[in-house]
């Protein structure tokens, strides 16, 4: 990009979400003009304090409506797509959002000559038994076909104060006497700080990542699901039974839980647990990682306790914290 950040307009689809908050903060700090494109701009007001007056502007766009996507991308120098869903509801289908929605964003970016950064997920695979993983892979393929110079980033599970993973299991452990370990809890993850992924997005949009490549982003440690649950329980100072259950039973549970307004688990998420969610050796060898972008990722131990303390019985006044002082 030849223009200075101050002169550059970045349209960020899904900017009101969890990763969006970190990405908008990183962009605002560097002085970019930011257009946040979401279905409900009135729910993006929390982003305003991250920038100067007038620096961040929210507009209405739905990835399932190509005209609204095009309007939101108009005149942008960079387009970032962070839109993703964890379960299907109504017209929010995986294919419509992750695959054809991603294509609509890439076509719009290409039409306006904007650089595209597309956020996918580790595990994206058109042969996966999970619809989520298949739709993410299809989205990568369609996005790169429409915008061949795009950079794709695939994070492992994200952590940060508003994350869905650690907060969800810590909350579950507060009211449930046991935490199920689907498939024995052997699935491996490489949790990565949302702020580090936001930094990688900034690197990519400023031309410090290779165009047309897929980067795999993971944190400094690989942990099994069981180890992650042990970490959560130790952090919130609660003892709970960790009960290994076979995938088939997990799927049965998920077939009921999926009907909750915000499901704790869906059968498709059980399918995702069949594969490890870690940076591949090939990505490491080919320099498609955080390290290759010059980013030294934060460990979950240095961030997660700073927001999970609220799930302790005595909150911030817990024994461990007072003893630490």
Is residue 220 a contact point for ligand NAP (CB under 6 A)?
no
Q: State phi, psi for 21 to the nearest 5 degrees.
A: -60, -45
Is residue 97 a contact point for ligand NAP (CB under 6 A)?
yes
Listed in sequence order, the residues at least 6 apart from 266 whose beta carbon sits closer than 8 Å to its beta carbon are 86, 87, 254, 257, 258
CB contact burial 292-313 (16+ within 10 A = b; e otherwise) = bbebebbebeebbbebbbebbe
Judged by beta carbon, residue 73 or residue 312, the one nearer ligand NAP is 73
Is residue 297 a contact point for ligand NAP (CB under 6 A)?
no
Judged by beta carbon, residue 83 or residue 143, the one nearer ligand NAP is 83
Is residue 139 a contact point for ligand NAP (CB under 6 A)?
no
CB of 248 to ligand NAP, least distance (A): 25
Is residue 83 a contact point for ligand NAP (CB under 6 A)?
yes
CB of 315 to ligand NAP, least distance (A): 25
- Number of chain positions touching ligand NAP (CB under 6 A): 27
Q: State phi, psi for 24 to the nearest 5 degrees.
A: -65, -40
Query: Considering Cα of 212, then 123, then 141, then 100, what sign does the dihedral take?
Result: negative
- Angstrom distance (rounded) from CA 252 to CA 116: 40
Is residue 199 a contact point for ligand NAP (CB under 6 A)?
no
CB of 175 to ligand NAP, least distance (A): 23
Q: Where are the alpha helices (DSSP H) in 157-216?
A: 165-175, 194-205
Is residue 167 a contact point for ligand NAP (CB under 6 A)?
no
Beta bridge mates, 223: 189
Options 25-33, 60-68, 226-234, 306-314: segment touching ligand NAP (CB under 6 A)? 60-68
Is residue 193 a contact point for ligand NAP (CB under 6 A)?
no
- Angstrom distance (rounded) from CA 71 to CA 158: 30
Q: Which residue is nearest to ligand NAP (CB)?
A: 17
- Angstrom distance (rounded) from CA 322 to CA 129: 47
Interface map 229-268 toward ligand NAP (x if CB under 6 A) = ----------------------------------------
The total of other beta-carbon atoms located within 10 Å of residue 2's CB is 7
Judged by beta carbon, residue 131 or residue 312, the one nearer ligand NAP is 131
Interface residue with ligand NAP among 9, 24, 26, 63 (CB under 6 A) is: 63
3-state secondary structure of 16: coil
CB of 44 to ligand NAP, least distance (A): 7
Is residue 82 a contact point for ligand NAP (CB under 6 A)?
yes
Interface residue with ligand NAP among 35, 73, 76, 84 (CB under 6 A) is: 84
Q: How large is the angle between the packed helices 18-29 and 194-205, nearest 10 degrees?
A: 50
Is residue 119 a contact point for ligand NAP (CB under 6 A)?
yes
Site residues for ligand NAP, window 7-46 (CB under 6 A)? 13-14, 16-20, 38-40, 43
Which region holds residue 210: left if phi is over 0, alpha if psi is between -120 and 50, else beta?
A: beta
Cβ(258)–Cβ(87) under 8 Å? yes
Is residue 121 a contact point for ligand NAP (CB under 6 A)?
yes
Interface ranges with ligand NAP (CB under 6 A): 13-14, 16-20, 38-40, 43, 61-64, 82-85, 97, 119, 121, 155, 157-158, 164-165
């Amino acid at each position: 990009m030849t223009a200075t950040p101050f002169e550059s307009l970045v349209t960020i689809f899904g900017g009101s979400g969890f990763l969006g908050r970190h990405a908008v903060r990183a962009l605002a700090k560097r002085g970019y003009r930011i257009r946040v494109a979401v279905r409900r701009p009135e729910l993006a007001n929390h982003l305003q304090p991250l920038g100067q007056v007038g620096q961040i502007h929210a507009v209405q766009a739905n990835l399932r409506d190509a005209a609204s996507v095009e309007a939101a991308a108009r005149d942008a120098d960079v387009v970032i797509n962070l839109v993703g869903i964890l379960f299907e509801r109504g017209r929010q289908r995986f294919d419509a959002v992750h695959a054809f929605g991603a294509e609509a964003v890439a076509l719009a970016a290409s039409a306006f000559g904007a650089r595209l950064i597309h956020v996918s997920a580790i595990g994206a695979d058109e042969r996966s038994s999970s619809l989520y993983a298949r739709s993410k892979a299809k989205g990568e393929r369609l996005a790169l076909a429409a915008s061949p110079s795009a950079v794709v980033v695939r994070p492992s599970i994200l952590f940060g104060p508003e994350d869905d993973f650690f907060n969800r299991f810590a909350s579950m452990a507060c009211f449930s006497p046991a935490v199920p370990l689907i498939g024995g809890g052997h699935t491996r993850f490489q949790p990565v700080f949302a702020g580090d992924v936001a930094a990688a997005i900034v690197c990519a949009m400023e031309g410090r990542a290779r165009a047309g490549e897929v980067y795999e982003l993971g944190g400094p440690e690989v942990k099994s699901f069981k180890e992650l649950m042990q970490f959560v329980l130790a952090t919130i100072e609660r003892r709970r039974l960790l009960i290994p259950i076979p995938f088939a039973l997990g799927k049965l549970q998920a077939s009921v839980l999926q009907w909750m307004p915000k499901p704790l688990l869906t059968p498709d998420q059980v399918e995702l647990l069949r594969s490890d969610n870690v940076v591949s050796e090939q990505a490491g060898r080919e320099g498609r990682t955080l390290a290759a972008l010059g980013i030294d990722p934060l460990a979950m131990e240095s961030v997660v306790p700073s927001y999970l303390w609220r799930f302790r019985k005595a909150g911030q006044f817990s024994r461990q914290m007072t003893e630490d002082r």
